[in-house]
A and B are shown apart, each in its own frame.
Chain A
Amino acid sequence: MRPAPVLVFALQLAAQDFMQRGFIEMRLAGFPQAAVNDRGRLIASALLRYEATYKISSAWRLAGGVEARTDSHHQTQRVWSLSWWDRERQRPAFAVRRASLTYERPGVTLELGKQFIRWGKTDILNPTDRFAPRDFLAVVDNDFLAVTAARLALGAQNNTLELVFAPALTPSRVPLLTQRWAPLPTWVEVRERQPQYPPGGQFGARWNHVGRGWEASLSLYEGYNHLPLYEVRPVSAGLPVRIEARRFYPKLRMYGADAAVPLGPVTLKGEAALFRSPASQTDEYVLYVVQAERQAGEWLLVGGYAGQTITRAQGPPGFAPDRGLAKAFLGRAAYTIDANRSVAVEGAARQNGKGLWVKIEYSQALAAHWRATAAFTLIRGDQADFLGQYRRNSHFLLALRYSF
């Protein structure tokens, strides 16, 4: 029996308004060197991610995504619950990756819900990207987390004003204290207390101008740092030294700017942010990145420098990979071998030579849906350096992904 033409037409329309995609990925990370606080050398993990968008009408659109994951090293919770806020210490086994409703009419876009908001123009390090917390459980192999927010974008193509309000902080996920990405000395035992999440919301505004070939933005952020500081309290003085630590997220105000200008053979990109805080225990500083970018033939080449100027130094210990990449030369080179294969090298080298991170990655599509990736990350440096402290965490990574 043939389906009714009306039904076929309706199904075709629905298909045009509904888009979905996802993947299942199996990963194996191997660490040649043992860590003092972590005997695990091999970590296997699996991730299922599914995302869909549905156009309800010409003005309204729904977007959603969920994740399910597990691993062999207790980086993922063994709990049957669905996470929305991403505040768990470990990765949640089941999480809403994204869920938002968008309203659009000419010159106005309003998005409500859990969404990704990216600011800035540079690569590798974005000082102005304040609504983009990350999962830093494995510090150098990180992934973005969505934030729950209302985002209003006003204006046409050439001048856009973006206003963001997030009622609650989504913190970056920091390394687990019992694992190798928290390289604590053997004579210290840390007991972690419940983190102190800020009570208030966050506000951001960004004006973006698109000129003839160039672009520039100004941004303002008033809220909290998604990267924590630690309130540390000694419990006992004998060896091992026992301390209690509690994460807290200091107030932060950011004044930022970014620009991209084509200059003959390269595109020059810059991004800078001044961070101030009324909290007396927090550093104040300027973080900036200048980079040159060129795409030539099958090559994409990016090279630059990230710098930092501290205007007030009195911070307690914290976890700050953004500042940890400052005062360093950054680079990325990617080469597309053919339609299915590519190779990329990216890294950062501290200007004083005390820290180095280099990642080499080869990726190959095996069939219409499969892709295999092999990578090796080399980390070297001094214990006191942000990159150097992970010097026993050089590792290889094998990944097999089925996309649908």
Chain B
Amino acid sequence: MNSVGWLALLAALTAWSQDAREIVAEAQRRSRAASERYEGTLQVIDARGRITEKRWLYYRLGSHGDSKAVIRFTAPAEVKGVALLIINHPDRASDQWMWTPAIQRERRIALQDRSTRFFGTDFSFEDLEERDVNQYEYRLLGEETLAGALCWKIESRPRKTRASQYTHSLLWIRKDNYTFARIENYVRQELVRRAEYREVQNVQGIWTPRLIEMQDLRRQSRTLLRLEKLAYNLPMKESDFTLQALRREF
């Protein structure tokens, strides 16, 4: 066996020996960016195949458990200006407020309300949080190939300190670029939501899925979120991620 072959074997053995937490931590490390911005195009497809389109702007400052994000709808016209502020914490669930311009009020989304769908999409409020690796415990279940990509299959369970609507989740992480390929979320033994990550592209050195499909298996509906005009590490201000900032547009 030549040296390249030995190196490949060594790499494979190293990968096998990685524990599940290290894999998720590496996936998190590789996706780290100081900030992120994209324009999201959403297609909500209900059980009868009817399609509703929405658009939002997404801004994030910071990364993984120590970040702040604002999602602001730009379409359809009747929800333009509706916004969600998410303050992620490393050691606990995020704080979230939703701004409704029609009544000029923000409303805090309580922890027990996070399983609710976010504004008619198939994402729940909790799904919009950025999850830090240390808030879960992990178990490596094996390997599986998804859409031609070899993946680690990992089970994650929220630690007691963290309240989650999901009892546990199954994660598929691609071995070639450490991006998520699929996440299945369970309530007890029932699979309730499945997220598929597709069209992975390298954007400014970060492998990023440009299309996310979230399925709500109870409602038999799904939402396709396409990330357009995606950019990382743009200059952003802390003061744009406050309740005052949430109120200022409309």
Interface centre among A295, A339, A401 (most CB of B within 10 A): A339
Q: B91-132 vs A: 1/0 string, CB under 8 Å?
A: 010010000000111001111110111001100000000000
**Which of A107, A213, A338 is in CB contact (< 8 Å) with B111?**
A213
CB distance from A257 to the nearest CB of B (A): 17
Query: Is A265's beta carbon under 8 Å from chain B?
Result: yes
Q: Do the beta carbons of B239 and A104 come within 8 Å of each other?
A: yes
* Number of A interface residues in the complex (CB < 8 A): 48
Residue of A nearest to B48 (CB): A338
A357 to B232, CA, bound (A): 52
Residue from B44, B75, B113 within 8 A of A267 (CB atoms): B113
Take A262-B112, A294-B113 as given contacts and tell me if A107 and B78 are in contact as well, using a CB distance cutoff of 8 Å.
no
Indicate whether B52 reaches chain A with its CB closer than 8 angstroms. Answer: yes
Check: B1 CB closer than 8 A to any chain A CB. Answer: no
Partner of B77 from A212, A339, A404 at Cβ < 8 Å: A404
- Cβ-based interface call for A361 (8 A): no
- Which residues on the B side are within 8 Å of A298 (C-beta)? 116-117
Q: Contacting B110 at CB < 8 Å: which of A262, A338, A368?
A: A262
Q: Could you tell me the distance between the alpha carbons of A317 and B239 in the complex, rounded to whole angstroms?
A: 47
B243 on the A face (CB < 8 A): yes
**Residues of B with C-beta under 8 A to A109:** 244, 248
CB distance from B100 to the nearest CB of A (A): 11
Residues B250 and A19 in contact, CB atoms below 8 Å apart: yes
Question: Known: A106-B238, A267-B110. Contact between A21 and B77, CB under 8 A?
Answer: yes
Q: Shortest distance in angstroms between A199's beta carbon and chain B's nearest beta carbon?
A: 28
Count of interface residues, chain B, beta-carbon cutoff 8 Å = 40
Interface flags for B212-250 (1: CB within 8 Å of A; 0: not) read: 000000000100000000000000011100111100111
Minimum Cβ distance to chain B for residue A319 (Å):
22
> In the complex where A104-B239, A403-B77 touch, is A21 in contact with B250 (Cβ < 8 A)?
yes
Report B105 CB to chain A, min CB distance, Å. 5
CB-CB contacts of A57-91 with B at 8 A, as 1s and 0s? 01001010000000000000000000000000000
Judge whether A336 is part of the interface by a CB distance below 8 angstroms: yes
Nearest CB of chain A from residue B59's CB, rounded to whole Å: 12
Binary flags per residue of B175-203, CB closer than 8 Å to A gives 1, else 0? 00000000000000000000000000000
- Which B residues are in CB contact (< 8 Å) with A369? 76-78
Does B53 make an interface contact (CB < 8 A)? yes
Which residues of A, 95-144, contact B by the 8 Å Cβ criterion?
102, 104-107, 109, 116, 118, 144
Q: Which of A348-404 contact B (CB under 8 A)?
A: 365, 368-369, 371, 401, 403-404
B76 interface neighbour in A51, A210, A368, Cβ under 8 Å = A368
- Residue of B87, B110, B112, B238 with most chain A CB atoms under a 10 A cut-off: B110
Contact with B along A152-194 (1 / 0, CB 8 A): 0100110010000000000000000000000000000000000
Q: Which residues of B contact A106 (CB under 8 A)?
A: 237-239
**Do B237 and A58 touch across chains, with their CB atoms under 8 A apart?**
yes
Contact string against B for A residues 271-295, beta-carbon threshold 8 Å, 1 for contact and 0 otherwise: 0000000000000000000000111
Q: Which 4 pairs between the two chains have the least Cβ-Cβ distance?
A: A403-B77, A295-B113, A403-B78, A339-B120
Can you list 6 A-B pairs with a CB-CB distance of less than 8 A?
A19-B74, A53-B250, A104-B245, A210-B243, A365-B78, A369-B77
Query: Could you tell me which A residues sit within 8 Å of B by CB distance?
Result: 19, 21, 23, 51, 53, 58, 61, 63, 102, 104-107, 109, 116, 118, 144, 153, 156-157, 160, 210, 212-213, 215, 260, 262, 264-267, 293-298, 336, 338-340, 365, 368-369, 371, 401, 403-404
Residue numbers of B with Cβ under 8 A of A are 44, 46, 50, 52-53, 74-78, 80-81, 87, 92, 95, 103-105, 108-113, 115-117, 120-121, 221, 237-239, 242-245, 248-250
